[in-house]
Structures are given as structure tokens and as C-alpha cells.
Amino acid sequence: MGRGPRCSKDGLNKGAWMATEDKLLLDYIKNHGEGKWSNVAKETGLKRCGKSCRLRWMNYLRPDIKRGSISDDEEELIVRLHKLLGNRWSLIAGRLPGRTDNEIKNYWNSNLAKKMAQAQSSSQSKCNNVIVKTTNSPSTVIPQQHTPIASPGTAPTANEVHLQNADDFSNNVAINSDDLVKAVNSVDSQMSSEQGSPCPSTTTTGDGDDDHLGSSPTNFMMDFNTDDHEDFCKILDCDFANLSNAMDDHGDHGVDHSGPILVLPKQMIMDKNVQAADFGSLASFLESDEDWLGNDLNVMLS
DNA sequence: AAACTTGCCAACCGCTGGTTT
DNA sequence: GAAACCAGCGGTTGGCAAGTT
């Protein structure tokens, strides 16, 4: 696409970083702040490309990085977030203070993927159906034609689960999960600007304005996992148009949704009186031990 | 003790999207 | 508008340590 390689390989070091290289990079960041990675090599004499420097800083040298094993709570959060977001490691990491996307990705691949695969194989033998949950009627059981998206241990795929008839939509609302991700990002930036500071759940590196730690998202899921559902409601309030569009479009089966669709109980979303309050119940729903993206929330693609 | 296997994790690679020139 | 630059993301790889045969 008209661009050469970003990291010229000539004369650059590769592989594990030496302590002296770390020191050069740390000194540079101390003096100049994060960013301008392409200048690091020029100004420090470090024989590493900017990309490599950035990675070293983000994954290892940053002072707020939490070392040590992943706790049970963190693991549970990773599993839940992965169900919601798929392999969007940076988004997941943004909700685990001190953890890097690389660390979470590695942890998933080496630990959780296997666990999830085992859990899935045991549960799949019990049930090969997808349940569409409705507010006013008993759950509708639909023959599963494919593995639902976000099945444990796998990234979301373009699999499809067909409803038996269009009436099954009547009590449900479709939310494009990509829109949900946008909403999460949107509220992140909104809350950051409201607070005029980086995410309260992440620590800053020191003194300056350029102490932004990457995207510094709010710790929405961590907060959400406490009893405070306010942030979750905020998300859906602040970018409700996205969700509504996906919802409105869903009656038209010709609409091309780019991502997987979550089907939620319609009443939970449509009733203006409960717009905020009922997302608390949605929060409770998501909080529950139910397999909310696998079965109780039907996941499908248009 | 040596050879082999397995698992972990830091780092690399290719790609994308946003911004600048 | 095109090209170049840059930051960032997710998939993959390679080296190392621990465990097993």
C-alpha cells in the first residue's frame, strides 16, 4: 500500500531487552514522556525501532503494571468480558487495572481457552439448543444450527442462529455487539473528559499532562461488578442512539449488521420508565451465573 | 544425566485506522 | 486525493524453564 516497512531491520537489535536498553528507554520517557516512539532510537542511540520501544514500555516498563498471577476475580472478569467483547484484548485489559492486553491474551491462550473448551464440551453434550428468552413468555427453544458466537474459547465468528419465525422477535430487542463496544468506548471518553483525568482506576505515572496511559478507559466493568450499576446505565444512556438503531433495524431482516447481535428482553429496553432502572436488572442479569451470552441471551447474526 | 515435551510469556509481525504532509 | 507517518491492535513465534520419560 505504498509504504515500506516501519522498522528497518538493518542494525537493530531484536529479541530480549537488556537492562541497559531498558534504562535508556526509561530515561527517555522520563524526559520526554510517552509517545514519539520513532524518535527514541534517534535521541537515545537505542538500537530498537519505535514499535519495539512502545511495546516494551506498555508491556513491561510501565510503573503501574501489576505483576503476579491473575486472581480468581480477575479471571472471572476476563471470562465475562471475553464473552461480551471477544478477542478485543485491549478493551478487556482496559478494565483490569495494571494488566496488559498481552498478558491477558497470553493468559487466555494458555489457561482459559482450555478451561472454556472443557466447560463447553461438557455443557454441549447436555444441550444442543439455543434458548431465546422473552419477557412475557416461556423461553423459546430453537434448534442450534451452528455454534453460537462467543462460544467459550473461540473468537466470535460469523455463525448464524435462525429464529423459527419472525414473531420470536416481538418481545426481544437486538443490540449489535459492535455498537455495544462503541458505547463502551464512548462512555469511556465521556467519563474521562468529565473527570478531566485518566481513568480513576488506573494509576498515573507521575506529574505531567502527557501521563495518559494509552486510552485510559474507565474501569466500567470493575465498577459494574460492584453493586453500582450507574456506569452501565450511563453507557446505554449516552450512546443509546446506536443501540436504538440496531434495535429498530432489526425488524428489517435485510439490514446488514456488521457484528453479532445480542437479543435482550425488549421490555427491558423500550419502557422509558425503566430505561435506567431496568438496566439495573439487565446488570443483574449479566451479573448472574447464567451463561448469558451462550444460552439465556440468544446471540446471532443478521 | 540426557533427551524430549510442555507451558509460559516476551517480543515480533502484519495489519488497520487516524493524522499529517 | 495520495502518500507517508504514526500509534495501536491481535495473531503468532521463539526462547526459556519446568516437568516428564
| DSSP string of A152-203, one letter each residue | TTS---S-----SSGGGGTTEEEEEHHHHHHHHHHHHHHHHHHHTSS-TTS-
Residue A8's CB: how many other CB atoms inside 10 A?
Answer: 10
Burial of A113 (0-12, 13-18, 19+ CB in 10 A): middle
Q: What is the pLDDT of residues A176-224, one digit of tens each?
A: 455 555 555 555 545 444 443 333 333 333 222 233 333 333 333 333 4
Task: Enter the C-alpha cell of residue A227.
Answer: 453493586
Neighbours of A118 (CB within 10 A): 12
Nucleotide nearest to A9 (CA to C1'): B12
Percent of chain A with pLDDT over 90: 1
What is the model's pLDDT at position A184?
Answer: 52
Which span out of A95-99, A203-207, A295-299 was modeled with the highest average pLDDT? A95-99
- Residue A51 contacts strand B, CB under 7 A: yes
How many angstroms separate the CA of A103 from the C1' of B9? 8
CA of A91 to C1' of B10 (A): 20
Chain C: nucleotides under 7 Å from a protein CB?
Answer: 2-12, 15-16
Residue positions counted in chain A: 302
The CA-atom distances, in angstroms, between A45 and each of A11, A16, A41, A49, A223 are 11, 17, 5, 11, 43
In this predicted model, which residue has the larger pLDDT, A191 or A241?
Answer: A191
Residue A163, classified by CB atoms within 10 Å of its CB into exposed (0-12), middle (13-18) or buried (19+), is: middle
Query: pLDDT grade, residue A281 (50/70/90)?
Result: very low
If residue A266 lies in a helix (H) or strand (E), which one and from where to where? Answer: helix A266-270
Residue-wise pLDDT for A80-91, tens only, equals: 888 888 888 988
pLDDT of residue A278: 37
Highest mean pLDDT among A74-78, A201-205, A243-247: A74-78
Q: CA A110 – C1' B9 distance (Å)?
A: 10
Cell 510503573 sits at which residue? Answer: A63
A195 touches strand B (CB under 7 A): no
Report domain extents, chain A: 19-61, 128-182+215-300
Q: Give the fold, CATH level 3, of A19-61.
A: Arc Repressor Mutant, subunit A (1.10.10)
Is the CB of residue A61 inside 7 Å of nucleic acid strand B?
no
pLDDT bin (cut points 50, 70, 90) of residue A117 is confident
Segment (H or E) for A264: strand A261-265
| Protein residues with beta carbon less than 7 Å from any atom of strand C | A 2-4, 6, 15-16, 34-38, 50-51, 54, 58, 87-91, 101-102, 105-106, 109, 155, 214-215
Residues in contact with A201: Cβ distance below 8 Å, sequence separation at least 6, in sequence order:
A97, A218, A219, A222, A223
